[in-house]
Amino acid sequence: MSKLIGPFARRKFLSCSKIRVFEALCTDTVVTFDVVKENTLKSLSYCRFYSSEKKKTSGLTKVKSTEMTKFSHTKTEFFGVHHHFAGCSLKWTRSGNLLTSYQDIPVPLKETAKTASYLGVILAGVGVTAVIFYQVFRELFSSKSPNSVYTTSLKKCCKDPRVIDSLGEPIKGFGEETRRGRRRHVSHLFYERDGINFLRMKYYIQGSRKRGTVHLEMRENDKGDFDYRYLFVQLDDYPRNTIIIEDNRYDNQMSFDKPFDML
């Protein structure tokens, strides 16, 4: 039978005088109950139950303790009260014995309310996590997310010979810089005009010689995919040359503000 227990007994500020050890058989475990009287000044005003549970399968011993149970000074309140712990009903009799029994104790209403509130907290946590993961997956794997538009257009820019000529290889791309030195966020704006979705985006590229800014706009086509409306690189040095990689603004399908219809 295992002796008690943890820091309390070792530090010797606790009288362990009144320890009764009981053994009871659970389904596949041996549970021993120890009772430690924790406050010697007022007799039996605090009590904590310990159980050391020996798993028969693994041979491991697990020590559990209850919440500190507080009693008033009248012993009647202490004796004869049922405590529910580790699947057992515990009852301290007047003679100083601890009775254990395995009757099912009806769960009080307070307990169910507690369980329900815990369940609510768990569900809320799971919900928030699900929303976050949904956002991450949409950002990373959808072809219409800012991140994938950035990836594909960056590839297109880096392949363009004029861009390679003026910036110099290797070319890398990045977004807006934050205070902490992160440049992951690409500034973009989704908007809608005449019932058609547009995405405008701006990010930066840097070659071995020069830097540039990429501006682009995507337009949703009939199939719901994004097409380039325009895509150009503006160099950051003085003449601020512009390299237009794609300009589909005046294709029949692409133009939304037909400037000459009014004539």
Partner 1 sequence: MEEYAREPCPWRIVDDCGGAFTMGAIGGAIFQSIKGFRNAPSGMNRRFLGSLSAIKQRAPIIAGNFAIWGGMFSTIDCTLVHFRRKEDPWNSIISGAATGGILAARNGLPAMAGSAVIGGVLLAIIEGVGILFTRLSAEQFKPPNPTLEDPSQLGPPPGFHTQQPNY
Give the separation between CA 62 and CA 64, rounded to whole angstroms. Answer: 6
Q: What is the 3-state secondary structure (H, E, C) of 146-195?
A: HHHHHHHHHHHHHHCHHHHHHHCCCCEEECECCCCCCCCECEEEEEEECC
Query: Would you say 11 or 223 has its CB closer to partner 1?
Result: 11
Of positions 135, 208, 221, 253, contacts partner 1 by CB under 8 A? 135
Rg (CA), the chain: 36
C-alpha separations of 222 from 73, 96, 225 in Å: 81, 84, 7
Q: Confirm if 100 and 69 have CB atoms less than 8 A apart.
A: no
Of positions 139, 159, 162, 225, contacts partner 1 by CB under 8 A? 139
Cβ 55 to partner 1 shortest distance, Å:
23
Cβ 13 to partner 1 shortest distance, Å:
5
144 counts as binding partner 1 under rule CB under 8 A: no
Segment interacting with partner 1 (CB under 8 A) among 19-27, 73-81, 112-120, 247-255: 247-255
Of positions 154, 157, 163, 245, contacts partner 1 by CB under 8 A? 154
Of positions 200, 218, 221, 226, contacts partner 1 by CB under 8 A? 200
221 counts as binding partner 1 under rule CB under 8 A: no
41 counts as binding partner 1 under rule CB under 8 A: no
Return residues touching partner 1 (CB under 8 A): 7, 11, 13, 129, 131-133, 135-136, 139-140, 147, 150-151, 154, 170-175, 177, 180-185, 189-191, 193, 200, 204, 211, 215, 230, 232, 234, 236, 242, 244, 247, 249-250, 259-260, 263
